[in-house]
């Protein structure tokens, strides 16, 4: 009997599924904009969930299940779904940037990725507030609104614009990224805190930003963005330039040209001890 991996996956078709799913989620985000009635904390302080997260996830899942009923899904709000034996795993963040969204700061998107045997191979990210659709699949390149994109050519850290973020556990750990943020702010033209990891990666892919690092992330935050950066000519690794592993929640993504210097700087940073009681 044939199993799923006996047939070469058609990444172009799977990319269209990811795109339809991300656009369905993004349409829901647009429709709830400014109309939220139910904003709650999920667990840690500041980790929010709204009716838009749940409705967008339902819309994304409906598309994936319609086309790929035999695949696995890992969705932020619903957890693990589908066939656990499938080599195909969809990683879904229906609303990346929930804090922004809840405050009506328009920097959020729906992110849909397909991992095949553990590696991100297809990604679609849709930002309905700027009407930007970012897409990539392994070997097929990366696009923004269907036009090819490429990482920036900035080759010096001192001339770079970076982005990072701070996980919801930042008040509970010394590994909170505060010291890294200060050091890189000192060494570069600036460090932004976008608040939506998938768009941070998409912005590296299209050259608006030169590099991104962050810890405490989940596969659904970064899987689509990783394939985008790679297909746009950039590099994604662990902080020490070793292979990036999704389950570490940590990554360094750059245009390639500043990768080594950013990695070296990140590895030198000592945690900053605050007394912020």
Q: How far is CA 201 from the centre of its chain?
A: 6
Q: In angstroms, rounded to a whole number, what is the distance separating the alpha carbons of residues 78 and 83? A: 14
Instruction: Check whether 221 is labelled as a binding-site residue.
Output: yes
Q: How far is the CB of 222 from ligand IPD (least distance, A)?
A: 8
Q: Which is nearer to ligand IPD, 44 or 131 (CB)?
A: 44
How many other C-beta atoms are found inside a 10 Å radius of the C-beta of residue 72? 18
- Residue 217 contact among Ca ion, ligand IPD, none, beta carbon within 5 to 8 Å by kind: ligand IPD
- Residue 61 contact among ligand IPD, Ca ion, none, beta carbon within 5 to 8 Å by kind: none
Q: How far is the CB of 60 from ligand IPD (least distance, A)?
A: 13
Q: How far is the CB of 142 from ligand IPD (least distance, A)?
A: 19
Q: How far is CA 235 from the centre of its chain?
A: 15
Instruction: Check whether 96 is labelled as a binding-site residue.
Output: yes
Q: How far is the CB of 271 from Ca ion (least distance, A)?
A: 24
Q: What burial class does residue 106 get, using C-beta atoms within 10 Å of its C-beta: 0-12 exposed, 13-18 middle, 19+ buried? A: middle
CA distances from 202 to 6, 103, 149, 231, 269 (A): 32, 22, 10, 11, 26
Q: Which is nearer to ligand IPD, 113 or 257 (CB)?
A: 113
Beta strands 39-41 and 48-50 are antiparallel
How many other C-beta atoms are found inside a 10 Å radius of the C-beta of residue 212? 28
Q: Which is nearer to Ca ion, 120 or 256 (CB)?
A: 120
Structural contact between residues 65 and 83, judged by C-beta atoms closer than 8 angstroms: no
Instruction: Check whether 70 is labelled as a binding-site residue.
Output: no
Determine the residue with CB nearest Ca ion. 96
Q: In angstroms, rounded to a whole number, what is the distance separating the alpha carbons of residues 75 and 244? A: 21
* Contact residues for 76 (Cβ-Cβ < 8 A; gap 6+): 53, 57, 92, 93, 94, 218, 220
- Residue 20 contact among Ca ion, ligand IPD, none, beta carbon within 5 to 8 Å by kind: none
- Residue 109 contact among ligand IPD, Ca ion, none, beta carbon within 5 to 8 Å by kind: none
Q: Which is nearer to ligand IPD, 200 or 230 (CB)?
A: 200
Q: Which residues contact ligand IPD by CB under 6 A? A: 93, 96-99, 165-167, 195-197, 216-217, 221
Q: How far is the CB of 223 from ligand IPD (least distance, A)?
A: 12
Q: Which is nearer to ligand IPD, 97 or 120 (CB)?
A: 97
User: Long-range pairs for 233-238 at CB < 8 Å and ≥24 separation?
Assistant: 233/150, 233/151, 234/151, 234/204, 234/205, 235/259, 237/263
Q: Which is nearer to ligand IPD, 88 or 181 (CB)?
A: 181
Instruction: Check whether 37 is labelled as a binding-site residue.
Output: no
Determine the residue with CB nearest ligand IPD. 165
Instruction: Check whether 76 is labelled as a binding-site residue.
Output: yes
Q: Which residues contact Ca ion by CB under 5 A? A: 76, 93, 95-96, 221
| Residue 223: closest CA among 106, 76, 112 | 112
Q: In angstroms, rounded to a whole number, what is the distance separating the alpha carbons of residues 51 and 39? A: 7
- Residue 196 contact among ligand IPD, Ca ion, none, beta carbon within 5 to 8 Å by kind: ligand IPD
Instruction: Give binding residues for Mg(2+) as ranges.
Output: 76, 93, 95-96, 221
Instruction: Give binding residues as ranges.
Output: 76, 93, 95-96, 221
């Amino acid at each position: 009997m044939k199993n799923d991996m006996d047939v070469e996956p058609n990444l172009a078709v799977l990319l269209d599924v990811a795109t339809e799913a991300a656009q369905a989620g993004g349409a829901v985000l647009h429709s709830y904009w400014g109309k939220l009635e139910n904003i709650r904390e999920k667990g840690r302080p500041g980790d929010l969930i709204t009716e838009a997260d749940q409705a967008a996830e339902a819309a994304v899942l409906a598309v994936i299940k319609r086309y790929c009923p035999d695949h696995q899904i890992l969705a932020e709000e619903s957890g693990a779904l589908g066939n656990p034996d499938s080599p195909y795993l969809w990683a879904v963040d229906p609303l990346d940037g929930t804090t922004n969204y809840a405050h009506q700061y328009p920097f959020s998107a729906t992110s849909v990725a397909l991992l095949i045997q553990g590696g991100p191979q297809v990604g679609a990210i849709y930002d309905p507030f700027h009407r930007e659709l970012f897409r990539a699949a392994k070997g097929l390149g990366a696009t923004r609104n269907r036009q090819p994109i490429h990482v920036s050519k900035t080759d010096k850290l001192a001339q770079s614009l970076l982005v990072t973020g701070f996980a919801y556990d930042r008040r509970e750990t010394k590994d909170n990224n505060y010291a890294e943020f200060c050091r890189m702010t000192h060494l570069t033209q600036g460090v932004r805190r976008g608040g939506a990891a998938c768009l941070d990666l998409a912005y590296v892919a299209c050259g608006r930003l030169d590099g991104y690092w962050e810890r405490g992330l989940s596969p659904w935050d970064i899987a689509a963005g990783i394939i985008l950066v790679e297909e746009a000519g950039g590099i994604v690794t662990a902080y020490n330039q070793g292979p990036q592993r999704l389950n570490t929640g940590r990554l360094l993504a750059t245009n390639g040209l500043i990768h080594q210097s950013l990695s070296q700087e990140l590895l030198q940073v000592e945690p900053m001890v605050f007394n912020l009681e």
